[in-house]
Amino acid sequence: MSWTGNPERDIADVMRLLYERGIVQVRGGNASIIDREKGVVYMSPTGIPRNLLDPRDVAIVGLNGGVIRGKPTSEWRMHLAVYEASPEAKAVVHAHPPHLLALSYRGLLPDPQYLTEVRVGARCIHLVPYAPPGSKELAEKVSSTIKATGCNALILERHGALVYSDKTIYHALDLLEALEDLSKIMLLMGK
């Protein structure tokens, strides 16, 4: 769901915020918003620097994966898998948060007991075993994890994080930022 009523603007804004916070690289990460009534998903595009993303750059994909407009993220399968596995999902954000990745390489998941925002925003946090980025295999693993656990915060092994919200893309962004902040706190604590 869009916060402003304009999903393209919200996606461009969220990608810029992710870049400014250092949670994605200039061409990394992706985000999407579903419009179930229209049967489409708005997605961040591939290849455009996140800090320069214009709402007109946002791609539109059908629920069957057919491209309607633009060049969607290479992770389009993963986004569609989330919406299929979780009918209440309205927005997805995927990034490569450095502190979260460092924590996961130590074999740890963010522990919600240390940060209220994560306790409130994440139903649960679950690790998704490695699969190549953008692959059908990764989309299938994400889908099966959501169906089995109901978690809305997933750590993608050796890759990054994926969160989704049943409210807005800004709620998903908030959760992703909280997971990165929590990971940094845990690393500073020596966890």
Under 8 Å between Cβ of 55 and 8: yes
Is 1 inside any structural domain? no
The pLDDT tens digits along the chain (191 residues) read 556 789 999 999 999 999 999 999 999 999 999 999 999 999 999 999 999 999 999 999 999 999 999 999 999 999 999 999 999 999 999 999 999 999 999 999 999 999 999 999 999 999 999 999 999 999 999 999 999 999 999 999 999 999 999 999 999 999 999 999 999 999 999 87
Domain count, the chain: 1
Q: What is the pTM of this model?
A: 0.96
Query: Around Cβ 93, how many Cβ atoms within 10 Å?
Result: 32
Catalytic residues: 75
Of 2, 9, 173, 167, nearest to 93 by C-alpha is 173
Residues of the domain holding 158: 7-188
Q: Is residue 86 part of a domain?
A: yes
CATH of the domain at 88: 3.40.225.10
